[in-house]
Every structure is written in C-alpha cells, then in structure tokens.
Amino acid sequence: MSNAELPKDFMEFMQKMWNPMSFPVPGMFMPTASVEDIEKKIAELKGVENWLTMNIGFIQMTVKTLEMQKAALASFASTAAGAKQEPPDKK
C-alpha cells in the first residue's frame, strides 16, 4: 500500500466514514462546539423530528382511510353478490 492512497487528513477520512452526512460529531478528536451552537442544533433537530412525526401521522391516517375504504368496498361487494342470488324456490 503506497502513501499516495492514504488520505491527507486521517481524522477527516474517519469522520466521513463514521458520519457520511457530515453532522459535527463532538468527541475525543474534536472539541465540543459552543453552548449556543449546540442549542441551535437541538432546535433544528427538534424541528425535523416534529416534521417527521407529523408525516407519520398523515401516513397512518391515510392507511386507516384506505383500510376503511377497502372494508366498505368488500361489504358492498358481498351485499351485491347476495342480492344477485335468487331466493330458493318454495314448494
């Protein structure tokens, strides 16, 4: 393995491997950001969390609505099939 294959900044390479979306990861190798930066990041992530929670609610509501429509159509189909059957002959 030649030196040309090694990245120039090994820590940057490792962070990209561990964190492909490039969110800052505080830890042993990087100093922690300021409190204001952390509060800002928390607020941003809570906004994303709320947005995702709202979308989950919409998806769940859509699934329930489709299940109700499916049940209604199955009910109508069975009622229509029952109505098409002729009553048995009475002797």
34-69 pLDDT, tens per residue? 889 889 999 999 999 999 999 999 999 999 999 999
**Closest to 9 (Cα-Cα) out of 28, 23, 29, 25:** 29
Q: How confident is the model at residue 15 (pLDDT cuts 50, 70, 90)?
A: low
Average pLDDT over all residues of the chain = 79
Q: What is the pTM for the complete model shown?
A: 0.50
Distance in angstroms between the alpha carbons of the first and the last residue of the chain: 96
Q: Of 14-23, 32-41, 77-86, give the range with the top mean pLDDT.
A: 32-41
Domain spans of the chain, in order of start: 3-81
